[in-house]
Amino acid sequence: MVFCEIAHGGRGYIWLSSERGSPLLTLDTASRYRHLFPVFDRVTYINSCSQGALAYQVRAALDEYLDGMESEGALWDLWVTKQEEVRGLIARAFGTSESKVAVTPSASAALNSLMSSFDFSRGRKKIVTTSLEFPTLGQIAHAQELRGARVVHISAETDNTLDLAKLEKAIDEDTALVAVTHVCYRNGAMTDIKSVVEIGHRHGVPVLVDAYQSGGAMPIDFDSLGADFLIGGGHKYLLTTPGLGFLLVNGNSKFIPTNTGWFAARDIFAMDIFNYDPSQDARRFEGGTPPIPTLYASAAGIKLLLDVGISEAWAHTQEVHRQLREGLTALRAQVATPEGDGNHAAMIAVKTKDEHAMVNALNKERVVVSSRDGNLRISPHFYNNHQDVDRILAAIHKHRNLLV
């Protein structure tokens, strides 16, 4: 292990470096799969919270779709089969059965369909959520106010964690739904969803989990989690292209959406225009024609992730995350992401004076990251290695005047 001393603000500190000598980490997972992602031939890509890196297999799958259209035109039988393949892969990725998976063009489409199954004009009206949510959940929840709903946000603590006692206090006999993000897109804070589910069920209230920033990055067993609903999408850690969302449904057959489409019917080929006969399983939350090109990409991307193994990918990412945090601490950077197992997922967020200036500065160093809410977001996956960490730490050090 090599130690390198770097001056910072007139003070010395120690930064762990692996540029020379033995690497800090032996990252076998990255070495086995990194060659499948051509982006690493061009830049240091560590931005999976925005978009997962594109694998050769995913591009080839899109070519397969286009080739089929050129050679044979409409391939409806194959396209429907591809949707069922993706449904099965999502079920495997989340430890559940295919009957509990609705495949949608986006998480917003899934959530809108779900919300349409609540009658806020009668009975319970309150939606309890948090200040950590992505606009998909927050905006769609508030849109239900037009239908009689009332939305209550529980504010996160100053360290970006959620006080579950405050959440429980907000739940009462008028609460229709508890809706909570698993990992905050702005700062990487992770909430103890298992406890949230227990709290909601203790009060007889269904729980919705937004797992967009955790699905594919870490193991999630939907059946064991016990949540009533889980939404997510594919183009981050599940390695697909934009255009895939999904809703996992744990029973709750009493929820029947009014926001629907012909692929939600019990028999999609009955073509019945005189009745509403929705599927009895999670498919009832689907809509119209599925995002067929994305289904090809999704099948390839999720297959690759399952080949890696989500547990192995997560173990690898945790090591990268630890190396990042150690380096950021040495740089005296202020990390917005809570520390400790169970408090964060893959993303680590760093406070900046100007988030956009920092992202642009790092981009000029050929390091690709993103930002939200004043924070620089660094989000590794199984394809990132210790050299990526060294490069981004060096780039941040070079532009440390932009740190808080």
Cβ neighbourhood burial of 211 (10 Å; 0-12, 13-18, 19+): buried
Listed range (3-17, 94-108, 112-126) with the worst mean pLDDT:
3-17
Q: Dig out the tokens for 403 from the structure.
A: 């740190």
In a domain, 9, yes or no: yes
In a domain, 340, yes or no: yes
Q: Count the domains in the chain.
A: 2
Range of the domain at 384: 2-54+310-402
Specify whether 168 is located in the same domain as 219: yes
Shortest CA distance to 166 belongs to which of 148, 153, 184, 179?
Answer: 153
CATH code of 150's domain: 3.40.640.10
355 has a pLDDT exceeding 50: yes
In a domain, 147, yes or no: yes
**Half-sphere CA count of 294, side-chain side, radius 13 A:** 20
pTM, rounded to two decimals: 0.93
Of 267, 285, 306, which closes a domain?
306
In a domain, 65, yes or no: no
In a domain, 67, yes or no: no
In a domain, 69, yes or no: no
CB 16 within 8 A of CB 204: no
Shortest CA distance to 133 belongs to which of 85, 191, 84?
Answer: 191
344 has a pLDDT exceeding 50: yes
Query: What single letter denotes the amino acid at residue 350?
Result: V
Q: Measured between alpha carbons, how far is 176 from 168 in angstroms, rounded to an integer?
A: 13
| CB contact set of 376 (below 8 Å; sequence gap of 6+) | 349, 350, 351, 352, 355, 358, 359, 362, 369, 396
Specify whether 258 is located in the same domain as 273: yes
Specify whether 270 is located in the same domain as 337: no
Question: What per-residue confidence (pLDDT) applies to 114?
Answer: 98
- Residue 94 DSSP code: T
Question: What per-residue confidence (pLDDT) applies to 27?
Answer: 55
Of 273, 306, 339, which closes a domain?
306
319 has a pLDDT exceeding 50: yes
Specify whether 174 is located in the same domain as 85: yes
In a domain, 252, yes or no: yes
Question: What per-residue confidence (pLDDT) applies to 28?
Answer: 80
* 19 beta partners: none
Measured over the CA atoms of residue 62, residue 66, residue 67 and residue 69, the dihedral's sign is positive
How many residues are given for the chain?
Answer: 404
Pairing label, strands 44-45, 11-17: unpaired
CB 266 within 8 A of CB 99: no
pLDDT tens per residue across span 189-222: 999 999 999 999 999 999 999 999 999 999 999 9
Q: Measured between alpha carbons, how far is 67 from 311 in angstroms, rounded to an integer?
A: 35
Specify whether 280 is located in the same domain as 346: no
Of 282, 306, 330, which closes a domain?
306
CATH code of 50's domain: 3.90.1150.10
Specify whether 112 is located in the same domain as 259: yes
| CB contact set of 279 (below 8 Å; sequence gap of 6+) | 264, 265, 266, 286
Q: Cα-flanking dihedrals φ and ψ of residue 123, to 5°? A: 75, -145
